[in-house]
Amino acid sequence: MSILETLMGKVKAPLRDQEKNSKYVKQFYENSVADVKSGHSAQGLNNESLAEPLPNYMPAECERVLDAGTNAQICIGRDRPSNLTSGYGGQGATSAGSIDLVVGRRPLNNETNVDPNFETDAARIHVSQTTDVDKNFNLPEGSSGRADARSAIGIKADEVRIIGRRAIKLVAEGRGTDNSKDGRIRTTVGIDLIAGPGTSDMGIQGPDLAGDGILNPSLQPIPRGLELVDALFDAMDLMDDLAAIVDSNTKAIHQNATNIAQHAHPVIGFGGGVAVPSPNGIAMSAFTKAQLYIKATAPMYAHRANTQTYRADYLRPVGDRWICSRYNNTN
């Protein structure tokens, strides 16, 4: 097995796994192989009958099960995520109808009765009128919290694919709509994209990426592309402004130094007045301060105000142009 297959959990099962069969099924398989005349050799070729390990599912009294003998079932009943006492069906609740489409129940042994197992069954689509979907599938709370006693659809398998020939939309309607219990939804929660179990709640802390001593939550808002582009352009403009201020400041200092170096005033000595290059500290100091204020200090104050506005607009949740989504998160 390659390293990639090991990391992705690609462990190939035998094409025909008879080791998990009961003695009865194994005997049936051996007999059917020899019984070529009957035309039902139980080899499963061309989708004919196949002797394979099958679980013994015990339906509840209210359930109706469609079963073709292939470890694939459609069970119509009431909410039952586990044994007969589980879920809202086990509590005798009304408005708790469910449809459970499941393949690969376990254990694969027709001598042992099995219940629904949302953890180990190979794949399922569970539709319920009233259920605790996050609890049933052992999901993290995320930004929306745990959904209890709600209508829900849960889909689980080793691999899940959703294909749209033209487009796919993930929509969380949120505020202003009514739920299936006729209750008004008052907030818009959004969409969480979560990879990995147990590390995706909002309260779990991640690395200190900003270096400010504050640990970031593992589940974070998704940046909005166009706002992020605008923010980066504005950041570049601020850097250009700062470069211009530094350049103007440098030129002002250079000019003042030239003026000081070229300044001369008369010195009275023997034989009359003589022009001697010598700085006039008081006059030049006042001139220099005025020039630096105009060229550097005032623009720097304005630049710092602009950077504060930039932070408020783009980098704070209260900003009109916050670069993060207010509803959708990922880890």
H helix count then E strand count, the chain:
7, 12
Q: Is 38 in the same domain as 108?
A: no
Residue 321 vs residue 64, higher pLDDT: 64
Residue 195 included in any domain: no
Buried b (16+ CB within 10 A) or exposed e, 283-313: eeeeebeebbeebbeebbeeeeeeeeebeeb
Same domain, 29 and 112: no
Residue 174 lies in a domain: no
Average pLDDT, the chain: 79
Contact 246, 239 (CB under 8 A): no
Grade residue 78 by pLDDT with cuts at 50, 70 and 90: very high
- Segment among 39-48, 73-82, 220-229, 319-328 with least mean pLDDT: 39-48
Q: What is the pLDDT of residue 36?
A: 46
Q: Which of 164, 181, 210 lies at the terminal end of a domain, its last residue?
A: 164
Residue 276 in any domain: the answer is yes
Domain end: 137, 164, 191, which one?
164
**Element at 233 (helix H, strand E):** helix 225-262
Check whether residue 40 and residue 124 sit in a common domain: no
Let me know: does 217 contact 203? Beta carbons within 8 Å: yes
Strand partners, 127: 99, 153
- Determine if the peptide bond prior to 107 is cis (ω within 30°): yes
Q: How far apart are CA 294 and CA 302, in angstroms?
A: 12
**241 or 278, which is more confident?**
241
Find the mean pLDDT for residues 281-305.
70
Contacts of 219 (CB under 8 A, 6+ apart): 142, 143, 192, 194, 200, 201, 202, 204, 329, 330, 331
Residues 100 and 145 in one domain: yes
One domain for residues 270 and 324: yes
Specify the residue for token string 């998990």: 20
Could you read off the pLDDT of 207-224 as tens digits, one per residue? 555 556 666 777 888 888
pLDDT in tens, 123-141: 999 999 999 999 999 998 8
Contact of 272 with 207, CB cutoff 8 Å:
no
- The mean pLDDT value for 252-280 works out to 61
| Pair (31, 96) in one structural domain | no
Per-residue confidence band for 35, with pLDDT thresholds at 50, 70 and 90: low
324 and 231 in a common domain: yes
Q: Mean pLDDT across the stretch 293-319?
A: 82
In a domain, 216, yes or no: no
Note the pLDDT of residue 10: 56
Last residue of one domain, picked from the residues 52, 70, 92 = 52
* Residues 89 and 129 grouped into a single domain: yes
The arithmetic mean of pLDDT across residues 230-258, rounded, is 79
pLDDT digits (tens, 9 = 90+) for 10-26: 556 666 665 655 665 56
Do 153 and 115 sit in the same domain of this protein?
yes
At residue 214, the pLDDT reads 65
Give the domain extent around 234.
226-330
Q: How many residues are there in the chain?
A: 331
Give the E-state strand segments of the chain in sequence order. Answer: 56-57, 64-67, 72-78, 97-103, 113-114, 123-131, 150-156, 192-193, 220-223, 264-269, 272-277, 324-330
**92 is a domain residue:** yes
CA 10 – CA 195 distance, rounded (Å): 18
Q: Which tokens sit at 1?
A: 């097995």
Specify if 171 maps to a domain. no
When divided into structural domains, the chain yields a total of 3
Per-residue model confidence (pLDDT) at position 4: 46
Closest CA to 106 of 20, 44, 43: 20
Does the residue 204 lie in any domain? no
Does any domain span residue 110? yes
Residues 6+ apart with CB under 8 A from 140: 134, 194, 197, 198, 199, 200, 201
In the prediction, which pLDDT does 328 show? 84
Furthest CA-CA distance within the chain:
143
Angle between helices 298-314 and 225-262 (to 10 degrees): 170
Query: pTM for the whole thing?
Result: 0.71
Residue 283, classed as helix, strand or coil, is helix
